[in-house]
């Protein structure tokens, strides 16, 4: 097996992504020649269509690409095959090229599940509300239902998208475990819930704000925000002020990256080392911003 790898990240507004340094640092430790580049559609010459980017990457000898917002669902139509889990989730965030063949996988679900299993020990999960039913939200919902008992209610600004995802997951986990609601109901749902998950980009620099009105989170809640940059989003700051148990998304990013790294290379990385790396990088950027 070759120890030379060219990998990319396809998405919009990804210039702040830590994926390149996360992958490349781990590869260097393992003695691999590994380059990870950003393929940001906002900075590519027009027309930068998803299919054209994937074709170019494969032609240029890429081992594969990670796929992020807004392409995790759209990419499926450009692939030859997807894993069973990705098919159930309805989203792909990792594409592996093998000659002319492109296979899609979803490592976001694994990443979320590892994050939640490590941070919700002893916490009630009987009723949880999730905001976001897009590509990342689909994976998070699947990972949560697969890893925890209880009910999950999904809310999205696109009510039809929330309903479609809930119906799809009901086939796998049972209708009694999954529901959906319009955004106007989110405050009432959260008031009755044990926890809340933000599975949208809201909270990032490019998408400021919080998915919840102020004052909705209380001390008995736990909150997971899958955003990892900044380290503390508006939602997290407000939840911490209310006394809630709050968890950011850096661990999800590290675990999903470790799984993708293994798919690209066949080598098993040290996920804890990658987690420590992303924590250092985020803390360093925060310190630089505050200086």
Q: Is 289 annotated as a binding residue?
A: no
* Distance in angstroms (rounded) separating the CA atoms of residues 5 and 170: 39
Contact 154, 141 (CB under 8 A): yes
Phi/psi-derived region of residue 235, left when phi > 0, alpha when psi is between -120 and 50, beta in every other case: alpha
The closest of 33, 25, 75 to 50, measured between CA atoms, is: 75
pLDDT of the chain, 291 residues: tens digit per residue? 568 999 999 998 888 889 999 999 999 999 999 999 999 998 877 556 899 999 999 999 999 999 998 999 999 999 999 999 999 999 999 999 999 999 999 999 999 999 999 999 999 999 999 999 999 999 999 999 999 999 999 999 999 999 999 999 999 999 999 999 999 999 999 999 999 999 998 988 778 899 999 999 999 999 999 998 877 899 999 999 999 999 999 999 999 999 999 999 999 999 999 999 998 988 887 777 666
- 18 assigned to a ligand binding site: yes
Burial group, residue 232, by CB count within 10 angstroms (0-12, 13-18, 19+): middle
The annotation status of 110 as a binding-site residue, yes or no, is: no
Q: Report the alpha-carbon distance of residue 145 to residue 223 in Å, rounded.
A: 16
Q: Is residue 72 flagged as an active site residue?
A: yes
- 17 labelled binding-site residue: yes
CA distances from 230 to 3, 19, 20 (A): 33, 15, 17
CA dihedral over 215, 220, 226, 227, signed as positive or negative: positive
Point out the catalytic residue in the list 38, 72, 168, 259.
72
Determine whether the annotation assigns residue 108 to a binding site: yes
**Tokens describing residue 287:** 């310190």
Q: CA 7 to CA 20: how far, in whole Å?
A: 9
Annotated ligand binding at 243? The verdict is no
Is 84 marked within a binding site?
yes
Q: Which of 221, 218, 212 is nearest to 245 (CA)?
A: 221
* Burial letters 262-282, b for 16+ CB under 10 A, else e: ebbbebebebeebbebbbebb
Kind and range of the H or E element at 193? Answer: none
Here the tokens at position 233 are 């989003």
The whole model's pTM is what?
Answer: 0.92
DSSP code of residue 202? B
User: What is the full DSSP assignment across 157-177?
Assistant: SSHHHHHHHHHHHHHHH-GGG
Answer whether 161's CB lies under 8 Å from 181's CB: no
**Residue 66 labelled as part of a binding site:** no
Half-sphere exposure of 209 (CA within 13 A, CB side): 8
Domains of the chain: 4-105+253-290 (3.40.50.10860), 109-247 (3.40.50.720)
């Amino acid at each position: 097996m070759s120890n030379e790898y060219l990998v990319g990240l396809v998405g919009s507004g990804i210039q702040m992504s830590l994926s390149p340094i996360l992958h490349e640092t781990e590869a260097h430790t393992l003695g691999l020649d590994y380059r990870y580049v950003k393929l940001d559609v906002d900075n590519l010459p027009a027309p930068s269509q998803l299919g054209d980017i994937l074709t170019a990457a494969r032609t240029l000898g890429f081992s594969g690409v990670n796929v992020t917002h807004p392409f995790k669902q759209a990419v499926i139509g450009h692939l030859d095959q997807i894993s069973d889990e990705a098919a159930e989730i309805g989203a792909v965030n990792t594409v592996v090229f093998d000659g002319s063949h492109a296979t899609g996988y979803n490592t976001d679900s694994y990443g979320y599940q590892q994050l939640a299993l490590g941070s919700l020990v002893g916490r009630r999960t009987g009723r949880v509300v999730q905001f976001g039913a897009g590509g990342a939200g689909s994976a998070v919902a699947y990972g949560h239902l697969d890893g925890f008992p209880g009910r999950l209610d999904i809310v999205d600004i696109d009510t039809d998208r929330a309903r479609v995802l809930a119906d799809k997951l009901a086939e796998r986990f049972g209708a009694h475990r999954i529901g959906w609601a319009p955004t106007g109901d989110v405050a009432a749902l959260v008031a009755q819930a044990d926890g809340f998950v933000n599975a949208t980009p809201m909270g990032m620099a490019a998408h400021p704000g919080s998915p919840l009105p102020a004052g909705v989170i209380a001390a008995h809640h736990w909150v997971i925000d899958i955003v990892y940059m900044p380290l503390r989003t508006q939602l997290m700051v407000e939840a911490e002020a209310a006394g809630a148990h709050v968890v950011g998304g850096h661990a999800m990013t590290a675990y999903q990256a470790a799984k993708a790294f293994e798919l690209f290379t066949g080598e098993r990385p040290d996920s804890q080392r990658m987690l420590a790396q992303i924590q250092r990088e985020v803390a360093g950027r925060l310190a630089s911003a505050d200086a």
